[in-house]
Chains A and B, each alone.
Chain A
Amino acid sequence: MTVITEAPADAPAPARTPALRWILPAAGLTAALALPWLVYPPVALDIVALALFAIALDLLLGYTGLLSFGHAAFWGSSAYVTGLIATHYGVPFPLAVLGGAVFAMILALPIGYVSVRRSGIYFAMVTLAFAQMVYFIGYQWSDLTGGENGLQGVPRSFFGIEPVETNSFYFYYAALPILLCGMAAAWRIVHSPFGRVLVSIRDNTPRARALGYDVDRYKTIAFVLSAGLTGLAGGVFAISHGFVALTELHWTTSGDVVLMTVLGGIGTLWGGIVGAFLTVMLADQLASSGFHGIDLITGSVFILVVLLFRRGVWGTVRHQWQRRGSARRP
Chain B
Amino acid sequence: MTAILQYAVQGLAAGSFYALAALGLAVIFGVLGVVNFAHGAFYMLGAVTAAVLLDTLGLTLWWSLLAVPVLMFAFGVVVERLLVQWLLRLDPLYNLLLTFGLTLVLVELVKQRYGVSGLPYRLPAGLQGRVDLAGVVLPRYQLFVLLFSVLICALVWLVMTRSRIGMIVRAATEKPDLARALGINVGRWVTPVFGFGVALAGLAGALAAPFRAITADMGSNFAIILFAVVVIGGLGSIVGAVVAGFLVGLVEAFGQAYAPTFAQILIFVLMALVILVRPAGLFGRQEATA
- Residues of A participating in the B interface, judged by any CB pair closer than 8 Å: 1-4, 67, 69, 114-115, 117-122, 124-126, 128-130, 132-133, 136-137, 140, 205-206, 251-252, 255, 258-259, 262, 292-293, 295-296, 298-303, 306-307, 310
Q: Report yes or no: B231 in contact with A114, Cβ–Cβ below 8 A.
A: no
A115 — which chain B residues lie within 8 A by C-beta? Answer: 275
The answer to whether B74 has its CB under 8 Å from any CB of chain A is no
Q: Report yes or no: B289 in contact with A307, Cβ–Cβ below 8 A.
A: no
The answer to whether B72 has its CB under 8 Å from any CB of chain A is no
Per CB-CB distance, the 8 closest pairs between chain A and chain B, nearest first, are A302-B101, A299-B104, A205-B290, A299-B105, A133-B268, A295-B108, A303-B101, A125-B227
What 6 new A-B contacts, CB under 8 Å, besides A129-B228, A299-B106, A301-B101? A67-B96, A122-B235, A137-B265, A293-B108, A296-B109, A306-B94
In the complex, what distance in Å separates the CA atom of A120 from the CA atom of B102? 21
Nearest chain A CB to B107 CB, angstrom units = 7
A117 — which chain B residues lie within 8 A by C-beta? Answer: 275-276, 279
Nearest chain B CB to A143 CB, angstrom units = 12
The answer to whether B166 has its CB under 8 Å from any CB of chain A is no
Q: Report yes or no: A303 in contact with B290, Cβ–Cβ below 8 A.
A: no
In the complex, what distance in Å separates the CA atom of A4 from the CA atom of B95? 11
Among A3, A67, A307, the most chain B Cβ lie within 10 Å of the Cβ of A307
In the complex, what distance in Å separates the CA atom of A130 from the CA atom of B127? 37
A129 — which chain B residues lie within 8 A by C-beta? Answer: 224-225, 227-228, 231, 268, 271
Q: Report yes or no: A136 in contact with B101, Cβ–Cβ below 8 A.
A: no
Nearest chain B CB to A118 CB, angstrom units = 6
Which of A69, A121, A130, A251 is within 8 Å of B220, CB to CB? A251
Q: Report yes or no: B83 in contact with A251, Cβ–Cβ below 8 A.
A: no
B230 — which chain A residues lie within 8 A by C-beta? Answer: 125
Q: Is the interface of B mostly helix, strand, loop or mixed?
A: helix
In the complex, what distance in Å separates the CA atom of A265 from the CA atom of B108? 26
A69 — which chain B residues lie within 8 A by C-beta? Answer: 96
12 A-B pairs in the complex with CB atoms less than 8 angstroms apart: A2-B91, A120-B91, A124-B93, A126-B231, A132-B264, A140-B261, A140-B265, A255-B100, A295-B104, A296-B105, A299-B108, A310-B94
In the complex, what distance in Å separates the CA atom of A137 from the CA atom of B112? 30
Interface residues in B, total, Cβ within 8 A: 47
In the complex, what distance in Å separates the CA atom of A292 from the CA atom of B4? 46
In the complex, which residue of chain B has the Cβ closest to the Cβ of A139? B264
In the complex, what distance in Å separates the CA atom of A295 from the CA atom of B102? 10
In the complex, what distance in Å separates the CA atom of A318 from the CA atom of B9? 58
In the complex, which residue of chain A has the Cβ closest to the Cβ of B92? A121
Beta-carbon contacts under 8 Å, B203-236 to A: 220-221, 224-225, 227-228, 230-231, 235
A128 — which chain B residues lie within 8 A by C-beta? Answer: 224, 227
The answer to whether B272 has its CB under 8 Å from any CB of chain A is yes
In the complex, which residue of chain A has the Cβ closest to the Cβ of B272? A114
Among B87, B108, B221, the most chain A Cβ lie within 10 Å of the Cβ of B108
Nearest chain A CB to B241 CB, angstrom units = 13
The answer to whether B98 has its CB under 8 Å from any CB of chain A is yes
A114 — which chain B residues lie within 8 A by C-beta? Answer: 272, 275-276
B92 — which chain A residues lie within 8 A by C-beta? Answer: 120-121
Q: Report yes or no: B87 in contact with A307, Cβ–Cβ below 8 A.
A: yes
Nearest chain B CB to A70 CB, angstrom units = 10
Among B104, B105, B228, the most chain A Cβ lie within 10 Å of the Cβ of B104
B177 — which chain A residues lie within 8 A by C-beta? Answer: none
In the complex, what distance in Å separates the CA atom of A300 from the CA atom of B287? 33
Q: Report yes or no: B290 in contact with A67, Cβ–Cβ below 8 A.
A: no
Nearest chain A CB to B90 CB, angstrom units = 8
Which of B93, B224, B261 is within 8 Å of A121, CB to CB? B93
Q: Report yes or no: A120 in contact with B93, Cβ–Cβ below 8 A.
A: yes
B101 — which chain A residues lie within 8 A by C-beta? Answer: 259, 298-303, 306
The answer to whether B138 has its CB under 8 Å from any CB of chain A is no
Q: Report yes or no: B268 in contact with A130, Cβ–Cβ below 8 A.
A: yes
In the complex, what distance in Å separates the CA atom of A137 from the CA atom of B263? 11
Nearest chain B CB to A262 CB, angstrom units = 7
Nearest chain A CB to B197 CB, angstrom units = 16
Q: Report yes or no: A132 in contact with B91, Cβ–Cβ below 8 A.
A: no
Among A126, A129, A252, A262, the most chain B Cβ lie within 10 Å of the Cβ of A129
Asked whether A132 and B224 contact (CB < 8 A) given A1-B290, A307-B98, the answer is: yes
In the complex, which residue of chain B has the Cβ closest to the Cβ of A307? B86
In the complex, what distance in Å separates the CA atom of A255 from the CA atom of B103? 11
Q: Report yes or no: B93 in contact with A4, Cβ–Cβ below 8 A.
A: yes
B175 — which chain A residues lie within 8 A by C-beta? Answer: none
The answer to whether B111 has its CB under 8 Å from any CB of chain A is yes
Q: Report yes or no: B100 in contact with A296, Cβ–Cβ below 8 A.
A: no
B68 — which chain A residues lie within 8 A by C-beta? Answer: none
Q: Report yes or no: B98 in contact with A296, Cβ–Cβ below 8 A.
A: no
Q: Report yes or no: A122 in contact with B87, Cβ–Cβ below 8 A.
A: no
Nearest chain A CB to B92 CB, angstrom units = 5
Nearest chain B CB to A10 CB, angstrom units = 19
The answer to whether B136 has its CB under 8 Å from any CB of chain A is no
In the complex, what distance in Å separates the CA atom of A120 from the CA atom of B107? 26
Nearest chain A CB to B259 CB, angstrom units = 11
Which of A2, A298, A306 is within 8 Å of B98, CB to CB? A306
Q: Report yes or no: B103 in contact with A299, Cβ–Cβ below 8 A.
A: yes
